[in-house]
Amino acid sequence: MDKFKFELHPDKETRQTTKGGTNFNKQLQEEYSSLDNASLIEQLIAAQIENARLGRQNRILEQKLSRREEELSSLEELLETHTHALHMRNLELESSREQLSISEDRYRFLSLHDSLTGLANRILFTERLREALLNAETQKSCVALIFIDLDLFKIINDTYGHYVGDMVLKETAGRILACIGKKGLAARFGGDEFAIFIEPCLGRSELELMCEKMRMEIRKPIPLGNMRTCFVRASTGFCCYPKEAGTMEAMFEIADKNMYLFKKENRKLKK
């Protein structure tokens, strides 16, 4: 059996071929490895270039964003300044409007009232009296008109001066208001003349009592300061609508006539 044994040994050529193939494979691997490294390097360089480009774009965008934020901040400050200025202007306008309203109210009051006594003036008095007469005509009621004139008031002005005269007029106005209360409207027609209308009208006897009460109150001493006082008297006359007069003008005429008749009678009594 030994003669039939074979030994499988590669021959020299085969060994050389095998050795050459191995070297070739290594060479190929090195070339491919070199190619892969070059590709990776190119990709890395390309990535770095792209990153640099993106970085520049980011910096540009950040700069633009920063400028936009600064502009926005400036606009917000400007808006806040304008808003504050507008608020202050609105306050000034509101204050001016209030002052104008007060001035208008004050002007309206002064145009319808006596500046010294605060009583109604002739304009307001006649307007309200006309309304009272219309109301009386509708309600079938009556209205009383009373005239008051201070006696010898000129002597007080000449003796004590106009300052004391004004004090007397203001004090007299206050006493008249205290006597009539809310029953009617009192006015100063000028100088030392006053007028009152009462609505609804009292009876004649009650009107006489009211006039007497006012004359008594007006006669009370008026303090002037420094322990000084003065005295003033008053004459009164009244008229009733519609019993004694059918119009406002007729009421004025009759009340004025009755007042001067009363003044004349008082002078006779003093004599």
Q: Per residue in 87-100, pLDDT tens?
A: 888 877 777 777 76
Model pLDDT for residues 63-79, shown as the tens digit of each residue = 888 888 888 888 888 88
231 Cβ contact partners less than 8 Å away, ≥ 6 residues apart: 219, 221, 222
- The torsion angle over the Cα atoms of residues 218, 223, 229 and 233, rounded to 10 degrees, is -10
Q: What is the mean pLDDT of residues 191-220?
A: 90
Spatial separation of the C-alpha atoms in residues 31 and 255, rounded to whole Å: 140
Q: Is 80 exceeded by the pLDDT of residue 262?
A: yes
Spatial separation of the C-alpha atoms in residues 12 and 53, rounded to whole Å: 61
- Residues recorded for the chain: 271
Spatial separation of the C-alpha atoms in residues 41 and 35, rounded to whole Å: 10
Cβ atoms < 10 Å from Cβ of 152: 10
Q: Is 70 exceeded by the pLDDT of residue 31?
A: no
Confidence class of residue 200 from pLDDT cuts 50, 70 and 90? confident
* Residues annotated as part of the active site: 192
Q: Is 80 exceeded by the pLDDT of residue 258?
A: yes
